[in-house]
Copies of this chain bind each other. A is one copy, B any other.
Amino acid sequence: MFDRYNKVQQAVLETTLELIVDKELQAASMSLIAKNSGVSTGNIYHYFSSKEDIVNELYKAIVLFNGEFVTRDLREGDSIQTRFRLAWKNVIALGKKYPNGFRFIEQYSFSPYIYEQSKLEAYKGGWCGRVAKLYGEAIEQGLFIGMEPRFMVQMHYGSIVYILKGHAQHYMELTEDLEDEAILACWNSVSKEKGWNE
């Protein structure tokens, strides 16, 4: 997940992510990060300029990773429906496979702790824009109703995030069938005709 960093940085970032996600930001103290990562506090400051710097680096790295993960197998040649299903399947797979990174972005994408510049970099590398473009195509082809693509993506992302949250909190099971149903529901919410009719 943090391939582009050296081993010390990786250890620090992984530890910080773990601490923040299953405690709180405040619980991720430098001394705890140092102890759990096996890197001394002094050395941490050799690779990061501050605690804020660690958290922001974490943010950028995860957004980049997530963006790559979600859109990695979207081919221009495939139909809109195929790409639609694949994209949201990937979002769900991401949330299940990398719950810590997912929850972190979930929690901190609106936080003042993250610099505006980090968010800007995130926006460029993120996947929302690319998926919104797909929605635009769907409107052009008369598959979707005339709603702002960004708005639809936001709605659908919210749906997926919340069923993932429910899953993570063990409020509800999340089988493959349910995933498919959820994605179909998203499609139907903005499609002109109901169902997958290809």
Contact = CB atoms under 8 A, between A and B. Distances in A.
A166 B188 contact: no
A112 interface: yes
Contacts of A189: 159, 185-186, 188-189
Which of A24, A155, A165, A168 has the largest count of B CB atoms less than 10 A from its CB? A155
A158 interface: yes
A25 to B, nearest CB: 6
Nearest to A165: B110
B26 A25 contact: yes
Nearest to A106: B110
Interface size of A as a range: 35 or more
Given A111-B24, A112-B24, A150 B172 contact: yes
A26 B26 contact: yes
17 contacts: A23-B112, A24-B26, A24-B111, A26-B26, A107-B107, A110-B165, A110-B168, A148-B172, A150-B166, A154-B171, A155-B162, A157-B162, A158-B159, A185-B189, A185-B190, A188-B188, A189-B189
